[in-house]
Structure 1
């Protein structure tokens, strides 16, 4: 249930930030620098949106495998995103070649905006996860079979045998 809630929140925030950034950059291009607009502009937010969906699915998968792997998942996803982004920039620069500087500046703007969003989300997720584990640990400690009784004993019925 916790994981489903986190995924829904991430996708909702990812969608909102994607729409806002896309609208903001499109307005800047159309109002201030219309001669620099390039036809591949919509591909940039789509790339980062799809990678965001991949990102949360990787977290969900590794969360089910074990919480210990989440930090590594974050690092692997960041490295993969960097490599794919570099490949997209190189491909666009050599194959398409139309308004390369505008494409690269826009791509880098989206890259850092989504990087900040994902890092913020990951840090908040980690904090909630640690708080949740702490509550579970406290709950297990309080309800343990070996809890200390009010008279300072160990809670064992037979003091001589420990049973």
Structure 2
């Protein structure tokens, strides 16, 4: 299976980020906010992890087959993520009334954390890509 360096780096850092943020979340809910841990907590980091995996595979496929649509795909993925998240929040709150507040606050916290993480990852990827192109142009003009 051919896996790009960017995809491999994203999957590795996403896995590490998910394990760390999930673990820190458990510690916060058990130590700092005792009694606020709820049964649906493990679902939250898993949801964002799988959505991140789905996103990187979609971006890689788009980069290979339709690179001119990459920005459109990025925006579509963000819209799809927020719509799916709102649907999941509504379903959980309807099904589990007593844990709704803790679930909502935790989910929103993870949503913001993953938004910052993904933005940082793709921004640094673009900066490195532009830097490589610039260095390549400078090397071509020198030769």
Q: TM-score range by the shorter chain?
A: 0.7 to 0.9
Q: 1:128 — aligned with what? A: 128
Larger CA deviation: 119-128 vs 4-13: 119-128
Where do 5+ consecutive residues of structure 1 fail to align?
Answer: 144-163
Q: 2:118 — aligned with what? A: 118
Distance in 2, Cα, partners of 1:136 & 1:64: 21
Offset of 1:129 from its aligned partner? 3.0
Contact 1:62–1:70 at 8 Å: present in 2 too?
yes
- 1:36-72 deviations in Å (ceiling 9; x for gaps): 2110100000000000001100110111023322222
Q: Which has the higher contact order (CA 8 A, sep 6+)?
A: 2
Counterpart mapping for 1:55-94 below 5 A: 55-94=55-94
Distance 1:47 1:13, change over 3 A: same
Q: 1:19 — aligned with what? A: 19
Equivalent position SS for 1:36: coil
Q: 1:103 — aligned with what? A: 103
Distance in 2, Cα, partners of 1:28 & 1:130: 39
Larger CA deviation: 125-134 vs 73-82: 125-134
Offset of 1:130 from its aligned partner? 3.1
Distance in 2, Cα, partners of 1:129 & 1:76: 23
Distance 1:123 1:19, change over 3 A: same
Counting matched residue pairs gives 141
| RMSD, matched Cα | 2.0
Offset of 1:110 from its aligned partner? 0.4
Question: Given the two structures, how large is their TM-score scaled by the length of structure 2?
Answer: 0.87
Q: 2:34 — aligned with what? A: 34
1:45 aligns with 2:45: yes
